[in-house]
């Protein structure tokens, strides 16, 4: 069932912007009913410029990317830092810009932070692609910055860059990518990174057991293919498997559990149609391709997703929470093992902007960032009596 807002209160919060510094703002905290918990939805801060990715530091501060190219630190008090220095230049247009942020699993020892972004051709050509850098976070600076992955080929487009970064239990880095929209057919071939999930080591080297390492004409980083625009990724807390969430066209958003070498069908198989209603493929399944684990028709415009494992919401433990842009909601997929038993719509009536990222905080709360020029960092906590 949908949420019903039944109580609001006004909170005084602090935020900063790049132009005005720290200013006092008024924000709303709302309580809402869900099927299993009453929740409180609080704006921690606003004034973020199209925030895209969110990662929590060990001290509870958050790193937030802004699509325009800034990486900022948001304190537990809601104060936003000046831009962190050392971030690479990005191609900021349409869907491109500074995208995801992730911490190394051993961050407290090595200080590595990973960023995905849309990168111009370093040789001066007209194209661009998704790239990944890492750098050591020292104070308000990224140091020893190095490119560890560069999508190929460079392609002139402002659409479908992916991209989420997630580490496997074994320490591999998965990078999810998009098909670049007008190059969708490339998702079915292995000589490019369009419409792929890639698997590398944190220094950018290729694991020897990647599925296409020994195949002539295939890029060895590729883990799975036949994807459209994968903007969500999470590791299952019990199995250690990668789960991804990708945008369909008009209809056909998908949850997948990508296996090594798996072909997930796009664009020769899809549950969606093009935005003008024309048929992309008249088939939902093609021999040799894998079906989505779960899908939405109509689309909710999926963004990121998490498995909830905290103690703040005991009735949601183990559930898969999928954030959405168009619908400004979170879909809670109630799992029994890997099987989806039930879907509940969360936060639709208490979040008024598109949700770009969802993360679980170190305090067990759920955090959202919203896709807006006055983007918000929102905290969801338990309000059960």
List pLDDT tens digits, range 244-271: 999 999 999 999 999 999 999 999 999 9
The fold of the 5-382 domain, in CATH, is Neuraminidase (2.120.10)
Query: Of 155, 146, 145, which Cα lies nearest the Cα of 120?
Result: 155
Residue 68 near residue 373 (C-beta atoms within 8 A)? no
**Range with the poorest average pLDDT among 11-15, 49-53, 199-203, 365-369:** 11-15
Active site residues: 160
Percent of the chain surpassing pLDDT 70: 93
Per-residue pLDDT, averaged over 1-22, amounts to: 33
Task: Give me the residue spans of the domains in the chain.
Answer: 5-382
Per-residue pLDDT, averaged over 290-309, amounts to: 97
Mean pLDDT of the chain: 92
Residue 78 clears pLDDT 90, i.e. is over it: yes
Residue 4 has pLDDT above 60, yes or no: no
pLDDT of res. 29: 79
Q: Tell me, what's the pLDDT at 385?
A: 74
Q: What's the mean pLDDT in 182-195?
A: 98
pLDDT average, residue stretch 218-225: 98
Residue 342 scores a pLDDT above 90: yes
Is pLDDT of 12 > 50? Answer: no
What tokens does 180 get?
A: 């670049």
Q: Structure pTM?
A: 0.93
CA 178 – CA 157 distance, rounded (Å): 11
pLDDT on residue 17: 37
Name 244's Cβ contacts closer than 8 Å, sequence gap at least 6: 164, 176, 197, 227, 230, 232, 233, 255, 256, 257, 258
pLDDT at 28: 57
pLDDT tens-digit profile of 17-52? 333 333 334 455 789 999 999 999 999 999 999 999
What is the per-residue pLDDT for 13? 37
Q: Residue 63: is its pLDDT beyond 80?
A: yes
Q: What is the pLDDT of residue 188?
A: 98
Within 13 Å and on the Cβ side, how many CA atoms surround 243?
23
Q: What CA–CA distance (Å, rounded) separates 118 from 97?
A: 5
């Amino acid at each position: 069932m949908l949420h019903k807002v039944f109580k609001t209160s006004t909170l005084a919060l602090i935020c900063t912007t790049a132009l005005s510094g720290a200013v006092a703002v008024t924000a709303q905290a709302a309580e809402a009913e869900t099927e299993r918990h009453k929740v409180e939805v609080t704006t921690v801060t606003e004034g973020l410029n199209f925030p895209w990715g969110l990662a929590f530091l060990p001290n509870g501060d958050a790193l937030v990317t802004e699509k325009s190219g800034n990486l900022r630190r948001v304190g537990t008090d809601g104060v936003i830092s000046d831009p962190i220095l050392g971030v690479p230049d990005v191609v900021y247009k349409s869907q491109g810009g500074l995208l995801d942020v992730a911490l190394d699993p051993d961050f407290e020892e090595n200080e590595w932070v990973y960023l995905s972004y849309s990168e111009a051709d370093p040789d001066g050509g007209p194209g661009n692609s998704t790239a990944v850098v890492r750098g050591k976070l020292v104070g308000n600076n990224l140091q020893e910055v190095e490119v560890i992955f560069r999508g190929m080929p460079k392609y002139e487009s402002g659409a479908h860059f992916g991209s989420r970064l997630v580490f496997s239990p074994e320490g591999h880095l998965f990078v999810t990518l998009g098909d670049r929209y007008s190059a969708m057919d490339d998702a079915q071939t292995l000589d490019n990174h369009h419409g792929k999930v890639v698997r590398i080591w944190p220094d950018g080297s290729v694991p020897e057991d990647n599925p296409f390492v020994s195949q002539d004409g295939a890029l060895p980083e590729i883990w799975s293919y036949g994807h459209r625009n994968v903007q969500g990724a999470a590791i299952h807390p019990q199995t250690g498997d990668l789960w991804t969430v990708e945008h369909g066209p008009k209809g056909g958003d998908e949850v997948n559990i990508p296996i090594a070498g798996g072909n997930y069908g796009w664009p020769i198989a899809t549950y969606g149609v093009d935005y003008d209603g024309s048929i992309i493929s008249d088939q939902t399944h093609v021999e040799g391709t894998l079906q989505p684990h779960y899908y939405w028709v109509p689309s909710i415009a999926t963004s990121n997703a998490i498995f909830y494992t905290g103690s703040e919401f005991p009735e949601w433990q183990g559930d898969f929470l999928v954030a959405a842009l168009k619908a400004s909601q979170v879909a809670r997929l109630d799992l029994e093992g890997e099987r989806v038993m039930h879907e509940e719509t969360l936060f639709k009536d208490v979040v008024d902007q598109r949700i770009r990222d969802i993360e679980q905080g170190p305090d067990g709360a759920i955090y959202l960032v919203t896709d807006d020029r006055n983007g918000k960092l929102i905290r969801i906590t338990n309000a059960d009596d």
